[in-house]
Structure 1
């Protein structure tokens, strides 16, 4: 399968998923969705995802990185306060889980360099830091 065909197939699958989600939400809220409205939602969702991908790429490039990080996703949601709050909360939960896993690994005897053990990701020079 050529790359163009693959991209077209992925776009179609994405639009089908968006349509399916919109119809499920309409049904859950005892509403009906007409075919043109459903297609419009799918097209808007695809365009939004394409724009989001471009924004994330630019944020990563601006930070001189080749990969997108969670912080880029949070920044991209700055126009929507509720979404920003949710993403920030999720990001904080994931970071806490990663720190907990690292602590468990240390207790199990996995070796880390002395430098890794001394660095706390929550420390900032101007904060009232207490471990």
Structure 2
């Protein structure tokens, strides 16, 4: 085996290890969150969740998220985009009326907040330009 080839294989192995570590961390975080949610539901409903049940819910949730990610990527690619947007998310949620309504409401809320921020920036920029032009007029008056 040549030295260059060995280095490439070591780099690939290191990348694979990093990817595995990231996935394990993500799964652990998801498992913790599912456990917390199950505990809240158990307290509210007076039921008990076994550890295997929590683990199963966590694994199914992780797998579903993987499917969602692939579907979102395909929706964007089909539209000849490299970025997933809100329309892709709505398309993903189309089979669940309540989820689609929730996502649509949040999307509109985000759009409204973004528009308000743009308007504030625009007003601020226009206000700054007015001050600049007044200062320029004052400076011109002084020079004359």
TM range (shorter): 0.7 to 0.9
Moved more, 38-47 or 86-95: 38-47
Structure 2 unmatched ranges of 5 or more: 1-16, 128-144
Alignment length (residue pairs): 111
Q: TM-score, normalised by structure 2?
A: 0.68
Q: TM-score, normalised by structure 1?
A: 0.74
Matches within 5 A, 1:19-30: 19-30=35-46
Post-superposition shift, 1:26?
Answer: 2.2
The correspondence for 1:33, drawn from 49, 66, 73, is 49
Match of 2:117 in 1: 101
Post-superposition shift, 1:110?
Answer: 5.2
Match of 2:133 in 1: none
Q: Distance in 2 between matches of 1:90 and 1:76?
A: 15
Superposed CA RMSD in Å reads 1.9
Structure 1 unmatched ranges of 5 or more: 112-131
Q: Distance in 2 between matches of 1:82 and 1:56?
A: 19
Match of 1:10 in 2: 26
Moved more, 87-96 or 23-32: 23-32
- Runs of 4 or more, structure 1, over 3 Å off, are none
Q: Judge conservation of contact 1:77–1:83 (CA < 8 Å) in 2.
A: yes
Q: Which structure features the higher share of helix residues?
A: 2
Q: Distance in 1 between matches of 2:70 and 2:60?
A: 15
Larger Rg: 2
